[in-house]
Every structure is written in structure tokens, then in C-alpha cells.
Amino acid sequence: MHFSRTTRALNSRQPFTLAGSLLLALALLVAWLLWFFGASLPITVNAQIVETTGDGYVRAVLSPTLASSITAGQTALLSFPGAQNAHAVPATVVAVSPGSTETVTELYAELSFANAALFAQQLTGQATIVVERISPALYFLRATGQFVDAAPTSFQR
């Protein structure tokens, strides 16, 4: 009795409802696959800003183990949490000086009217340097240990 009601209900459904649901599911799967293999996630390292100059140059230090991943030309974001009306300032790595206890990185930020006052105040802060951009698929493979030649992905903060 219950089975006959179920089959009658299934037979009375519009065939377009099933086809529409399948097309929607397929479209969502394709969108997810495009994101998974095509999106670009930035992999970053953080450096401590120890000196700023009035002309846009910044000196930052980081661990010597990270020196091999920093090269001239990489992009960075500078943040000055102690400053009033502070916002992230884009910068570029100019030079890297590896040392035994710390690596000194020199960055340059294009000065504008909005951020010139930050550099004149000799503030300290944090530089977030983008060392590479990878897809979520590659990130997942690295996190699960599939690529042993690449640097291990750490989930620590």
C-alpha cells in the first residue's frame, strides 16, 4: 500500500524537475572543480618590521630558515597596528640578506599622501610577504604529504 503511493508519486513528477536538479548539481560540481584547480591561494611568511624610513624603505627581520623562500621582486603587505588610521600598505621586496641568527629583508613601499605619515613616524609592525601562489588542489596535496619535495604546509599560527 505504501509502495504503490510512492511509485505513483514518482511517476507523477515532472521529468524536468529531475533534469533541472541534475543540471544544477552538475553546474555546482563544475564550479567547484574550476575553483579547486584554478584558484590562486597566496602562501605567505611574516617578518617583523624593525625600521622604517621617510622615503618608503622598510627593514624587516625573519627566521633564517625562511631566507631561501624570499627573493627580490616578491609582493608584501605592511601593517602598522600601533598607528592611528593604519591600513595595509603594499610593498615589494628589494633585497634579502641572510644571516646566521636572522634574515634581514629590505622592502620598498610606494609613498602616497595617505601612507607617507606612517613612514615618517618610525613605526614597527609586520610585513606579510607572498612567497608563492598555488591552487587549492596543490595545497591539499602538500598538506597530505603527497609532494615531499615541496616545503611542508604548517597549520600553526
CA distances from 149 to 96, 130, 142, 146 (A): 24, 20, 9, 9
- pLDDT computed for residue 16 by the predictor: 65
Q: What CA–CA distance (Å, rounded) separates 92 from 107?
A: 5
Q: What CA–CA distance (Å, rounded) separates 90 from 81?
A: 15
Model confidence band, residue 25 (pLDDT cutoffs 50, 70, 90): very high
Model confidence band, residue 157 (pLDDT cutoffs 50, 70, 90): very low
What are the grid coordinates assigned to 5, written together? Answer: 503511493
Question: Which residues are within 8 A (CB) of 87 and not within 5 positions of it... i.e. 6 or more apart?
Answer: 114, 115
Among residues 36, 90, 42, 94, the alpha carbon closest in space to that of 70 is found at: 94
8-17, 58-67, 84-93, 125-134: the lowest-pLDDT one: 8-17
Parse the chain into domains and list their residue ranges: 2-38, 41-143
CATH classification for the domain delimited by 41-143, as one of 1.10.3720.10, 2.40.30.170, 2.60.40.650, 3.20.20.120: 2.40.30.170
Tell me the CB-side half-sphere exposure of residue 52, using CA atoms within 13 A: 25
pLDDT digits (tens, 9 = 90+) for 52-98: 888 889 999 998 888 888 999 999 999 888 776 667 889 999 999 88
Does 41 or 118 have the greater pLDDT score? 41
